[in-house]
Structure 1
């Protein structure tokens, strides 16, 4: 059972066409809440809201806010036109989108007649925070390269929750977004990763594609029980469609958990047991001791079947500072966990070499 409470809108902190960040009064305490306009309509100061308070009561990180279930002062709304594909299917919040694949779509025949990705470089990450350094390195080197971001449904479902995406689009560092599965709100909606990759190539005309889940990730401390495991079958999908599959490894020497030291056990599991294709794995580490640690992990875990490319130089910090991008992952900044962010930008640097 979810936890639900009634709250009154105290103030609106931020709003655009898609999302409202608000302060609500619950039991005489002012707390943070998020309202998705496509699901529940606009709210105003003084409105009485029914809120899902589960995440706050569980003390979650990314999901640590209340979410509006209904505006009790404005309960009814009308259906918007276009589209027949449902997301959040068979839940009280199921919503209709106009998917690019639909027969009524002007893109239907283009998608249906697709042949190959023609070696289009597709980088696949496991955490949403990998997106920013990846994009920054490419756009700093060549602003003309068109980048498409595909957001999976492995974590947050509404793309409008992502402040990273909002910032990158405002700075024109991402050219288009695609949301797949039950995630929603992208410039293009697609049913799955295969059609999303086709849209990226044939409709967006992307030079580079980045794929990852939205904010948040599920982990259980078990070998296979984490939502980032999707990286494996997404990489296989890229290869199946004729793309160049690039796996962004999760690397850290700042994480206190031993299973995430060096190459994370998540990445090792994916490269060893999940992905069936041979893929490219850029390793952007220049420190000799840390590099040796990574070499030993690759050998010990017998994942040499993939093509590991060790990058000779790094411009991550330079590119982030150039675009004034402040990034964090698991609460850590670049200075606190540089190898994590360098892993993402290393994939971008590798792709740049191939695009020259």
Structure 2
């Protein structure tokens, strides 16, 4: 199941917020590897390290890197000293975190005494690459509002892997982060999506929340076999707790696979068959030919019978990204190569601002 090799650290290219980008000498061949310093300790040139080489040997695209399992010259980690909740449970890599829900947590009573999200807007994406365009558009227009990012365990588990999160936090565009399930390493750790949403409202006083998995996604080409299916249960949880659920549809006209053309089969499956509640789905008004296909998909799947589908005019995505000096990439494509994908995430921010400001929120309460 796991391929392991021993290598020597040749150079350290970058150290960024818990993630070391290094080069290792593996039997005379210089290769790239990542070290999660908070898990496996600091590395130095010349250290002997044990690598997980599985993904590279499988020639994987997403996640196709070597990862350090252990540094034989430094066995100490840098994770938090407190906490009793385990993540990566019952594996050789299990780590303890200081979870918000714990009895000893200063926030325990906030969780215990929770009553409602009070219509707090929560935007749910399916790919990590949706985060940056959404954040750029939201924060450009709402620089003083508090935005919280909840990272699920649908893909990468350590939040340290996300350079998007690191960049957005450095620029002050994400105010706080939360990791849930077996994901870990955020400003706050929670056991599940319910307590994470409660933490965002009751502890962090968020004005808006964005939820998605970290970098990476698993797909099989089957109807239900993809990790982005988590969008459905998350939207259900938001509604159950009294929040205002907004779903970003996965839209592309650059993807060569027919099942991802227009509204992806991933989104259609979630909206039609998985989510149990009515949600808000903003659709960008693309050019006539592309929008015609999208409208046909909406009609054929009867999405308007179940959800609030709203068309949003949005030509601002690129300007919003440029305003903060942000670059985006998804499935190897940048904004110019797949603008409809990134516009969909940005339009969710504009929809949120349209319906969820203080003046109009009450009109949308259930």
Structure 2: segments with no counterpart, 5+ residues = 358-366
Structure 1 residues 152-188: Cα deviation after superposition (integer angstroms, max 9, x where no partner): 0000000010000000001100000000000000000
Q: In structure 2, what is the equivalent of residue 349 of structure 1?
A: 350
Aligned to 1:249: 249
CA displacement at 1:81 relative to structure 2: 2.5
Contact in 2 for aligned 1:285/1:339 (Cα 8 Å) = no
1:80 shift after superposition: 5.1
Taking a change above 3 Å as real, the CA distance of residues 44 and 137 of structure 1, as seen in their structure-2 partners, is same
Query: Matches of 2:8 and 2:294 in 1, distance apart?
Result: 52
Answer yes or no: is 1:319 the counterpart of 2:320. Answer: yes
| CA–CA distance in structure 2, aligned partners of residues 260 and 66 of structure 1 | 30
In structure 2, the residue matched to 1:262 is 262
In the alignment, is the contact (CA less than 8 A) between 2:41 and 2:76 conserved in 1? no
Question: In structure 1, what is the Cα distance between the partners aligned to 2:256 and 2:96?
Answer: 43
Q: Map 1:194-343 to 2 at 5 A.
A: 194-304=194-304, 305-343=306-344
Contact 1:18 1:160 in 2 (8 A): yes
Alpha-carbon deviation of 1:226?
A: 0.2
1:211-260, CA deviations, whole angstroms, 9 ceiling, x for partnerless residues? Answer: 00000000000000000000000000000000000010000011000000
Say if 1:10 and 1:173 are closer, same or farther in 2 by CA, change over 3 A. Answer: same
Question: In the superposition, relative to structure 1, how do residues 8 and 121 fare at CA in structure 2: closer, same or farther (>3 Å)?
Answer: same
State the 1:101 CA deviation: 0.5
Partner of 1:155: 155
CA shift, 1:109, in A, is 0.4
Task: Measure, in 2, the Cα distance between the counterparts of 1:171 and 1:296.
Answer: 40
| Distance (whole Å) between structure 2 residues aligned to residue 266 and residue 247 of structure 1 | 12
User: SS in structure 1 opposite 2:303?
Assistant: coil
For 1:218 and 1:53, the matched residues in 2 are separated by: 19
Aligned twin of 1:146 = 146
Q: Provide TM-score, normalisation by structure 1.
A: 0.98
Check conservation: 2:80, 2:97, Cα contact below 8 A: no
Instruction: Give the aligned partner of residue 114 of structure 2.
Output: 114
Aligned length: 356
Contact 2:17 2:166 survives alignment (8 Å) = no
CA separation in 1, counterparts of 2:88 and 2:187?
A: 18
Moved more, 30-39 or 213-222: 30-39
Shift of the alpha carbon at 1:79?
Answer: 8.0
Task: Look up the match of 2:361.
Answer: none
**Does the CA-based 8 Å contact 1:51-1:70 persist in structure 2?**
yes
TM-superposed CA distance for 1:307, in Å, is 0.6
Distance (whole Å) between structure 2 residues aligned to residue 207 and residue 80 of structure 1? 28
* Pairs within 5 Å for 1:35-184: 35-75=35-75, 81-184=81-184
Q: Deviations over 1:127-146 (max 9, x none)?
A: 00000000000111120111
State the 1:198 CA deviation: 0.3
Output the TM-score relative to the length of structure 2: 0.95
Question: Shift of residue 64 of structure 1?
Answer: 1.5
Residues 103, 208 of structure 1: alpha-carbon distance in 2 compared, 3 angstrom cutoff: same
Alpha carbons of 1:343 and 1:179: their partners in 2 closer, same or farther (altered >3 Å)? same
TM superposition shift of 1:355: 3.7
Distance 1:16 1:249 in 2: 31
CA distance 1:77–1:234, shift in 2 (3 Å) = closer
Gap change, CA 1:76 and 1:168, over 3 Å in 2: closer
Q: Which runs of 5+ in 1 are unaligned?
A: none
Rounded Cα–Cα distance in structure 2 between residues aligned with 1:296 and 1:355: 28
1: distance between equivalents of 2:139 and 2:80?
36
How much is the aligned-residue C-alpha RMSD, in angstroms? 1.2
Contact kept in structure 1, 2:39 and 2:77, CA below 8 Å: no
